[in-house]
Structure 1
Amino acid sequence: MLNTFSLLKKKIPPISLGMFNLIVVLWLSIALNISFYQKIAKLTPYSGLKAQLFLAATVVVVIALYNVLLQLFHWRWNAKLLASALIFIGGFSAYFVSSLGAVISPDQIQNIMQSDAREMRDLTSVRFILWSIFLVILPIGIISQIPIKKEPAPKLLLKKLLHIAGSFAILAGLLFVFYVDYAAIFREHRDLKGMLSPQNTIASTLSYYRHRAPKQDLPLVAYGTDAHRTLPASPAQKPKLMVLVVGETARAESFSLNGYSRNTNPKLAKLDVINFSKVSSCGTATAVSVPCMFSGMPRKDYDEQLASHREGLLDIAQRAGYKVTWIDNNSGCKGACDRVEQWQFPAELQKKWCASNGECHDEILVDALKQYIAGIPEQDAAPRLIVLHQMGSHGPAYYERSTAPFQPFKPSCDTNAIQGCSQAELINSYDNSIVYTDHVLSGLIHALQDDPKYQAGFWYLSDHGESTGEHGMYLHGAPYAIAPAQQTHVPMLMWFSPEWKAQNAQQMACLSAQKSQELSQDNLFPSLLSLLGVQSQVIDPQYDMLKNCAPAKAGT
């Protein structure tokens, strides 16, 4: 390939910087933004020839806009470097926009910043490799070999001014003619700017670093320093053991417990669970939802910077006397568990449940919970809160999120290049992952049922949902304001042992009465602390699901 580029360089005559800019502008504006123009075509208020003229005007507007920017920043000494960077950024952002229906936003940049190598590997496919070669590497190789001729500075400046003036004239004229239409479209569809590459990635990255990037070395802010438990239990009363499962990428509409036509919850349906059918997430990505749900801040007031260096739910439970442990089968706790025990999978469990690439099936959590409980000294009567973080239904490799005995729906999409699968195959793979989650959750509940030492509680709540092609969108991470219900409507359920129910009968009745009420991840922080018998002034009764319950009996 290098020889080909060298031969190409010898055959191409030198061109002016203006012509070089035009070539780059046409590639950025047209080749990398087909999905953007397709979206515009669907939103155009016109039909027939007028619709075609409106679409052509949009293409010209983008070309003129990018031409102005390149004339300002491109000079002979840096043009190839900047053009290569723009093609690189634009090429990859265009892949996610066109192939996965993603909208590039600060949230998506945050997801990328907090992704690990395993998550990035899951996005790699043959389609991605081919795209990288033909729409990123090859164009960069070609423009790097185009010779740019020297021009006298006065002549070059004059040409740049003429290009800029001409582009502004075109912009002014077209925006004047179609201003009302553009204003209406972009006002109602603010996500459109997240589809235009490469400006979407550049603008979102700048916004992320300006407003969301974690500040370094900020002092830890104490929170809930008055936290304490209610009166200790009598010697005859068992200590509490609460298991909180943080799900991954599970959407409520795919749970048969919520009315889905397919039986995706065959095992949970046989257990005495309290299922909450109308629960919304704090965000559309793990990097937002997990810190938010543990922060004590409701979604409308959530401050990422403050959450990153303030104590949260787990700190408060620990201060109140609970032994708090986080067991992770995902990409970490996003800061929520930094000051509590983080239990690591022993080698024998990794050998049993993990692949060579390090990914582990969620059944490792069942064995881990059993092993963890078995390892608690007999004389240890401390109450405990254990958080299990699932791999769940993390995409796009849904087919890897279940094992053969829990794949009832066929044919499935057995690739991470989900764009090449039919909608039916994709849904089958996703639903199989929900069936597997059903198996894992029921296994965890059975593990708690079998333990005689504790009065046990179980709470499952997914971090966010997932799009599987609905509205042309895949995966998750859409801006919350425009995110479809598939990404924000999440499953939530609880289970309690007979001993817990006996000690807290009124709480059980209160929770059961809220099964069909509008709830959210905002309810987790105050409600879980209340279930644990923890009292603090930071518990907001507005979001406490137990606020209408009579005081529970004294307990740990």
Structure 2
Amino acid sequence: MGMSSQPGISSRRLVLLLALYFFFVLNLPLTTKLAGILESLDGVSAGFVLSIPVFFVAALNLLFTLVAVKYLEKGIFIALLLLSSMVSYAMFQYGVVFDQDMMANIMQTHQGEAKSYLNAASLLWFVLTGVAPALLLARVRIEHGGVLKDLLWKGVSVLGSLAAIGVIAVGYYQDYASVGRNNSYLRQLIIPTYFLSSAGGYVNQTYLKEELPWRTLGEDARVGRPHHNGKPNLLVLMVGETARGMNFELNGYPRDTNAFTREQGVVSFQAVSSCGTATSVSVPCMFSRQPKSDYDAEQAERQDNLLDVLEHAGLDITWLENDGGCKGVCERIPTQSFRPEDGGQLCDGDYCQDGVLLSPLRRALDRPGQQDRVLVLHMVGSHGPTYYQRYPAEFAHFTPDCQRSDIQNCSVRELVNTYDNTLYYSDYIISQVLEMLKQHQAQWNTGLVYLSDHGESLGENGLYLHGLPYALAPVQQTQVPMLMWLSAGLGRENGLDNGCLKQQAKEGRFSHDNLFDSVLGLMGVHTSQYQPKQDLLAPCRSA
């Protein structure tokens, strides 16, 4: 019987090579950060610096030795190479951290959103760092001895790795402890351990944990005040996507990103923080009764939210969806979703621009009735990285813009121009909704609230996009815009002092936590779930 033509390598050597490859190539986001940290420290010993690659290679060698199971190891390592390559690119180029919230965000990503991250740079990175070594591994024959010999070598490898880690710990414990304590986020950059543990946590949380019983909230809700002018109330709640408050002209930004709404009497709240840094967290949280400080996604998913309480009060609720999904918030509410694959002038097969929301909103406003209404418009807004696809060509107000998805390769000016164009177009959509509400004041007491889910990084400190753990996230990802407009009728229904409201918006500090109670108060809903201190309108409402 002839020898196999496949080149061979022993399992233990393969494991060591993989440990070296993962540290020196795939962990580039980690080593880059470490280099910057070490460069900024005074009096760092050469021994400590030289011990770092030995420490990580030993730790990875230990991990890979434990998972190197005969007949399974090749498939496991090929999968790890491919996944780690993609994770490495996102972390290195955009500063993304793959925690459990990010895993949830990935699992809820639709096809069009996933495609927006494909570009020449990401594909080249994936081919060179993931596909090429995976193909090389697929071609080699992994050699094993007998069972006892394999176990002996595994034992030697494990003990050798532990010995190396132990010696380093004895010699440089204080250095590692100091760098680790002052830069605790570094553990989140280690590939593949952190993203694998996050994925395991997500699977356990989503599929393996016993489902909590359903908790109904606000069954006592009712509209508690008469409509003095005989007209029902109608609120349009616009949920923005990836808009950051600091780029709103109405908040002092020196560009005309609010060219369409600045003369329409809207009130802009200057300091509003989000509940999360990703849609999958922020949208459920902003509609939840739970405050950010106590927010538990599992509990929130198994209890009524703001829209349910409004429906308990007898309001007519409709959700118009243009951002790929409401993250469970609208499950029990009549919903109209816009599917990019259905085509149309404003859809490209992956996304629909927010202009698609206007016609169904107009039809909803024209529908007669005496029942109070809340219409929610979930916008695609400023969703990246393909910002240039979020607005029609005629809304390329700031030029030159960045007509590509590998945004790190655009100039700062191009990137900011493109992002600001998304806000400019969103402002146009908001202005069109305002015009409709003003035209329907004879039939309704109308109002509008616009609030974004989270912000965005545009290259500041090397960070792009969003989704960093909240404790690490920069203000660009957590500070969001909030606009409000109320017709004279709805303002009188609430007994609001406009001067007081403007002062609140200018000087107050608010968050997504205020949405639940502010909407209940604005719509005159009485319920034991209402917390007046969280209603940002309460201080400006007369008795």
Pairwise TM-score range, normalised by the shorter structure: over 0.9
| 1:340-419 equivalences in 2 (<5 Å) | 340-344=333-337, 351-355=344-348, 357-374=349-366, 376-377=367-368, 380-419=369-408
| 1:103-252 equivalences in 2 (<5 Å) | 103-211=97-205, 219-234=213-228, 236-252=229-245
Aligned CA distance change for structure 1 residues 51 and 491 (closer, same or farther; 3 Å): farther
Deviation at 1:543, TM superposition (A): 1.2
Residue pair 2:38, 2:44 contacting (<8 A) in 1 also = no
Which stretch of structure 1 is more off in the superposition, 153-162 or 289-298?
A: 153-162
| 1:333-344 equivalences in 2 (<5 Å) | 333-344=326-337
Please name the residue that 1:426 is paired with. Answer: 415
Deviation at 1:46, TM superposition (A): 6.6
Letter in 2 for 1:522: D
1:257 maps onto 2:257 in alignment = no
Aligned-partner SS, 2:318: strand
Unaligned runs of 5+ in 2: none
Q: Distance in 1 between matches of 2:41 and 2:379?
A: 48
Deviation digits for residues 80-100 of structure 1, max 9, x if unmatched?
122112212211111111121
Given the alignment, which residue of 320, 324, 330 partners 1:331? 324
Q: Distance in 2 between matches of 1:464 and 1:237?
A: 38
1:439 maps onto 2:428 in alignment = yes
Q: Distance in 2 between matches of 1:214 and 1:19?
A: 36
Deviation digits for residues 209-267 of structure 1, max 9, x if unmatched?
33466967654321011111113325x42111100000000001111111112221112
Deviation at 1:344, TM superposition (A): 4.7
Letter in 1 for 2:278: A
Residue pair 1:44, 1:51 contacting (<8 A) in 2 also = no
Q: Distance in 1 between matches of 2:427 and 2:193?
A: 42
Please name the residue that 1:460 is paired with. Answer: 450
Deviation at 1:547, TM superposition (A): 3.1
Residue pair 1:41, 1:51 contacting (<8 A) in 2 also = no
Residue pair 2:320, 2:378 contacting (<8 A) in 1 also = yes
Residue pair 1:281, 1:464 contacting (<8 A) in 2 also = yes
Please name the residue that 2:511 is paired with. Answer: 520
Deviation at 1:511, TM superposition (A): 2.7
Unaligned runs of 5+ in 1: 1-8
Deviation digits for residues 469-491 of structure 1, max 9, x if unmatched?
11211111100011100110000
1:322 maps onto 2:315 in alignment = yes
TM-score (norm 1): 0.92
Q: Distance in 2 between matches of 1:183 and 1:344?
A: 51
Which stretch of structure 1 is more off in the superposition, 275-284 or 14-23?
A: 14-23
Q: Distance in 2 between matches of 1:370 and 1:152?
A: 74
Which stretch of structure 1 is more off in the superposition, 450-459 or 164-173?
A: 164-173
Deviation digits for residues 47-87 of structure 1, max 9, x if unmatched?
69957654432221110001111222213322212211221
Deviation digits for residues 367-407 of structure 1, max 9, x if unmatched?
22112212x13xx2111100000000000000111122221
Deviation digits for residues 520-548 of structure 1, max 9, x if unmatched?
00000011100000011111223121333
Letter in 2 for 1:353: L
Please name the residue that 1:489 is paired with. Answer: 479
Which stretch of structure 1 is more off in the superposition, 538-547 or 237-246?
A: 538-547
Q: Distance in 1 between matches of 2:41 and 2:513?
A: 45
1:77 maps onto 2:71 in alignment = yes
Q: Distance in 2 between matches of 1:195 and 1:268?
A: 42
Please name the residue that 1:28 is paired with. Answer: 22
Residue pair 1:250, 1:462 contacting (<8 A) in 2 also = yes
Q: Distance in 2 between matches of 1:345 and 1:83?
A: 40
Aligned-partner SS, 1:225: coil
Letter in 2 for 1:30: F
Q: Distance in 1 between matches of 2:41 and 2:290?
A: 47
Q: Distance in 2 between matches of 1:202 and 1:290?
A: 25
Q: Distance in 1 between matches of 2:253 and 2:207?
A: 39
Aligned-partner SS, 2:9: coil
Residue pair 2:323, 2:379 contacting (<8 A) in 1 also = yes
Aligned-partner SS, 2:214: coil
Please name the residue that 1:5 is paired with. Answer: none
1:281 maps onto 2:274 in alignment = yes
Please name the residue that 2:532 is paired with. Answer: 541
Aligned CA distance change for structure 1 residues 104 and 403 (closer, same or farther; 3 Å): same
The Cα RMSD (Å) is 2.2
Please name the residue that 2:34 is paired with. Answer: 40
Aligned CA distance change for structure 1 residues 50 and 209 (closer, same or farther; 3 Å): same
Letter in 1 for 2:364: Y
Aligned CA distance change for structure 1 residues 370 and 129 (closer, same or farther; 3 Å): same
